[in-house]
């Protein structure tokens, strides 16, 4: 069943961790984002929703914040654009 509501930050953070686990523990932002969409079965409407600040999609913006919140606790930035589980 496709989600038609926007997921909470805690749901997105858990999906980022789950995505990294499924992707072997390390992945690019693009790979993580695609896997999060798959894990949460997000609708195209949610995936394409524009952010209020015109910074791209709301999903990409919120996933950036989720990675920032998880940084140093559960994940680390290996090189620009690549993250791994700690």
Which residues are within 8 A (CB) of 44 and not within 5 positions of it... i.e. 6 or more apart? none
**Domain count along the chain:** 1
3 in any annotated domain = no
1 in any annotated domain = no
Q: What is the CATH number of the domain that holds 30?
A: 1.10.10
The model's pLDDT over 4-61, given as tens digits with 9 standing for 90+, comes to 689 999 999 999 999 999 999 999 999 999 999 999 999 999 999 998 877 799 999 9
pLDDT at 81 over 90: yes
**Pure H helices in the chain:** 9-22, 29-40, 44-48, 58-70
- Domain region containing 22: 9-85
For the chain, how far is it from start to end, CA to CA, in angstroms?
32
């Amino acid at each position: 069943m496709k989600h038609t509501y926007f997921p909470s930050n805690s749901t997105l953070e858990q999906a980022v961790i789950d995505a990294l686990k499924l992707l072997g523990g390390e992945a690019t932002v693009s790979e993580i984002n695609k896997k999060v969409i798959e894990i949460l079965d997000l609708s195209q409407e949610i995936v394409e929703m524009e952010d209020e600040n015109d910074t791209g999609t709301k999903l990409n913006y919120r996933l950036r914040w989720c990675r920032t919140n998880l940084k140093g606790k559960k994940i680390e930035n290996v090189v620009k654009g690549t993250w791994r589980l700690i």
